[in-house]
Chain A
């Protein structure tokens, strides 16, 4: 089949798989596999668990994965680097620093800071992620120089990570809670979080697809892109904003989920060749499916205990990518 025609088909397959997993997600829980349709109306707890816990967390996993997939595609296009991932601009370290600070203050003076309690861990993570990206932009003096931006992002990441470590050393009892955040978890995603992610996700998707031509232009080099008459500065700034918003939202709700943002665009590219608009759309669907599948396994494999979902995404996505690279290498087309 013509590789260009594969795009819509892949999109359809990804969404269908997601729909199947959503149904499966409603069936799998702390008791292993059970059928909510068989519960009937005589088990209000069962119904409530499916409605208020399993469905939002399954859907939330898809949404968070989708946001990360989208951010990954945007990052790889923006930096013209296949190793780029959504956390490149320091948002991961910023978010974990935000969480560490929130846990620390909440523990030290729970009553005295009602605004912090209202902001909560989720809000602190989001604020941390966005502030980290702003700091990166400040250090890089804007978005004009890709290399400078990359370097600033890495440095901000390292410095903020070190400050977070200092806080955990000073206050060891936040260590476990922080580790829970760092490994990622979809267990506490509710309907409000889903709604928030859906709205922001739609916004990010619209913006990034509208701005995708600039990524296509950038792929040909900055000079070429500029010669095409694109307002590079403004469009790039907008893409960085999308990147920060999508990553911050996902990270705030589910913690630092590894690898989805890096793997999703690669998985898409291994199947289809498409423009950046197509890549962003498909990568969004791919990221969602990846995290949803991982979430399902995370609570199924050792029920009623849970594996950290970030560990599974790395194992799943990573081994598939490795296999892909191995196969291509063997064919000599890598």
Chain B
């Protein structure tokens, strides 16, 4: 939790310092030394525009200048934009974006999968950040909007998406934000006593039951913490498990959302699972669950939550 506040204040300050001089500089260079201006992309790296950036679909998005009016259709992208200090450039978000608190004041443009095309167009965005599965991407592009498809699924994706967004926004903060996430996860790992590590963990996503396996970003964080996941990577990131698999694996600790965890102890045969017997179950409330299930800049905070669970309920 503390990790995130640091990111926010730091990026906020950096933006205010960074944005103005750069723009002045570029203006001056362009007038006085056009040759240097041509070299500017090389010299200044990410801050240079016009930009051509390939998104996750592989299609190239042309950005003549850094976007000033952005619509984000995915909570983790909203959070990434804000972590990069560009929260003030968001003009609309999807209905599930709820962090940071300031986005609550922005217009809602439907969900990531069922966005309201008209509402988005009416906001006159110069960039729309969409998910891979959104049906609206083609429609928005045919209406002349620039759409960038970014959907982080694991740690490397989060890093890459932050870098891409940093280049798009013309800010230099991306490496710092990622370092801060990374440091926060490492700090969480170091805060654990040796005994808490090597705990065999079952992270339940919902009661079907779907689990977060080693291959998911949640699993990656757990691995960084030194915990062992009962769901191996070979089963894919979020497999639907046979409940009997969990009983046989006999985890030491169960992490679950409030909602999905209702009646977990009463499931047939689960009463004998070590974690249930010893009451080693961490239940996360809705707000914490949001932090845990979004592959974005709050992954460091998620690691802290999991570490606290391991410390307090672990063996």
Contacts and interface: CB of A to CB of B under 8 A. Distances in A.
A306 B240 contact: yes
B134 interface: no
Interface in B225-263: 235-236, 239-245, 247-248, 250, 257-260, 262-263
Given A45-B250, A190-B268, A304-B245, A106 B262 contact: yes
Interface residues of B, number: 34
B248 A30 contact: yes
Given A173-B289, A180-B208, A305 B258 contact: no
Nearest to A307: B240
Where chain A touches its partner, the secondary structure class is helix
Interface in A21-66: 29-31, 45-46, 48-49, 52-54, 56-57
Interface stretch (A5-13, A181-189, A257-265): A181-189
Contacts of B208: 176-177, 179-180, 185, 187
A76 B182 CA distance: 62
In this complex, the interface size class of chain A, counting residues with CB under 8 Å from chain B, is 35 or more
A82 interface: no
A177 B247 contact: no
B111 A172 contact: yes
A78 B240 CA distance: 38
Contacts, number: 110
Interface string B103-145: 0000000010000000000000000000000000000000000
A174 interface: yes
B235 A190 contact: no
B114 to A, nearest CB: 8
A121 interface: yes
A226 interface: no
A118 to B, nearest CB: 10
A187 B243 contact: yes
Interface in A187-240: 187-191
Interface in B261-289: 262-263, 266-269, 272, 286, 289
Contacts of A117: 262-263
Given A173-B289, A180-B208, A30 B245 contact: yes
Interface of A: 29-31, 45-46, 48-49, 52-54, 56-57, 103, 106-108, 110, 117, 120-121, 169, 172-174, 176-177, 179-180, 185, 187-191, 299, 303-308
Interface of B: 95-96, 111, 205-210, 235-236, 239-245, 247-248, 250, 257-260, 262-263, 266-269, 272, 286, 289
